[in-house]
Structure 1
Amino acid sequence: MTEYRIWDPFVRIFHWALVASFAANALVIDDDSTLHEWVGYAVLALVATRILWGLVGSHSARFAAFWPRRSTVMAQISDIATRRNRTHLGHTPLGALMILNLLATMLAIGATGYMMTTNAFWGIDWVEETHEALVNWAWLSVVLHVAAVIFESWRTGVNLPRAMVTGRKKVPDTVNLVK
């Protein structure tokens, strides 16, 4: 087993802060409260900071290090279908697609949430319905993300949740590594 330093503290803190903020706003905090708005603004600030970190941060945090290409996405799907045991040091191509999906979804949730507080869009049904649909899409994405993390951890023998806590991936020596 070889251990690699992958996730810097910012990426890990961002990840878990986003998890906590989204879950609190979606499950615990009253939708009509001022706290719901402020947590929504905090989510937007987190995402904006993550986008900035994706441009100037550590190597594995940069979008350039994991931007999904059709060929890499297809290669990962092929690996899964043929049971080829290869793992990625950073984000997998499918994981990268999920990250981009979740970042865009959080931005859209924040935008529609903000729109609902303005005079121009207050009480407009399509804005609230879009906001709610985006939250549902986010939940579906989160469930798929967690299922994929569990599946990939089992498939590759790399404990991905542990890596997002410690910042280090322990990769079995029997796994082909994609850097």
Structure 2
Amino acid sequence: MKMEKVWDPAVRFFHWSQLLLLAGLWYTGTEGLMEWHQLLAYSLAAVLLARICWGLYGSPSARFHRFAASPLKAWRYLRQPQAVMGHNPASSYMIFALLLLVLLQFISGLMTTDHIFTDGPLVRYVSSDTVSLATRWHKVGIDVLLIAVAVHVAAALWHSRRHHNVIMGMLHGKLRAVPGQSAQPLKNSWSYFVLVVIFWLGFYWWQGADLIRMLSF
């Protein structure tokens, strides 16, 4: 069985780190560990922003315009699923939805307050109506995001059983070769990880140092 390299280290790192960080954010938010919650949020934002950049210039299988599909094409795929060397037309909508939901969750968190102990760093700069809207969305948004993740996981399990083992593919980057399709060469991922570090250091300089100082007390 011939295997071809489809996903580069940048895509795979983002995929699994996003899952772990979302789990950590849910737990710390539920338990009221707000300093840790914010630190994890900045870490997730760093890998997310770097992934958005990578989606513009990275490996062919990572670029948004390469796997974005029309609603008609996605619908046709859902009616007749098949193995695809990369993201399939239907999964592209879930990928964009997850990216948008995570981004909205992060932005709303910056303007969220619990009116007791914790204010997001942008609360002082926006109107009370904006803070109220952001706070309401941040509470509801995590549930919407977790539902989307559950649907994504269920679809990946189904697809792995019926067509391509995409779950293992996201671990080692390889998929079973499909006749008539060929995986395109992958780019070196070093610049993605450089972007992650740059964004993370930016968030650390902006807010992270104060949060770590608070944790030390």
Amino acid at match of 1:109: Q
Q: Does the CA-based 8 Å contact 2:165-2:175 persist in structure 1?
A: yes
Once the two structures are superposed, the pairs formed by residues 96-115 of structure 1 within 5 Å of their partners are 96-115=92-111
Equivalence for 2:23? 23
Displacement of 1:37 in angstroms is 1.0
Once the two structures are superposed, the pairs formed by residues 75-90 of structure 1 within 5 Å of their partners are 75-80=76-81, 86-90=82-86
User: Distance between the aligned counterparts of 1:122 and 1:19, measured in 2?
Assistant: 32
* Structure with greater Cα Rg: 2
TM-score (norm 2): 0.72
Displacement of 1:17 in angstroms is 0.8
> Where does structure 2 lack aligned partners over 5 or more consecutive residues?
113-119, 184-217
TM-score (norm 1): 0.86
SS of match in other structure, 1:91: coil
SS of match in other structure, 1:68: coil
SS of match in other structure, 1:15: helix
Identify the structure with the greater strand proportion: 1
> Where does structure 1 lack aligned partners over 5 or more consecutive residues?
81-85
Displacement of 1:28 in angstroms is 4.0
Cα shift readout 1:79-100 (whole Å, capped 9, x = no counterpart): 04xxxxx211010111111110
RMSD of aligned Cα (Å):
2.2
Cα shift readout 1:143-166 (whole Å, capped 9, x = no counterpart): 00000001111221x211100000
Decide which of 171, 178, 186 is 1:165's aligned counterpart.
Answer: 171
Q: Does the CA-based 8 Å contact 1:6-1:90 persist in structure 2?
A: yes
Q: Does the CA-based 8 Å contact 2:28-2:37 persist in structure 1?
A: no
User: Distance between the aligned counterparts of 2:181 and 2:153, measured in 1?
Assistant: 22
Cα shift readout 1:49-80 (whole Å, capped 9, x = no counterpart): 10100011011011121012123202212204
Equivalence for 2:60? 59
Cα shift readout 1:116-169 (whole Å, capped 9, x = no counterpart): 21224679443222101111111000100000001111221x211100000001
Displacement of 1:2 in angstroms is 2.4
2:125 is the counterpart of 1:129: no
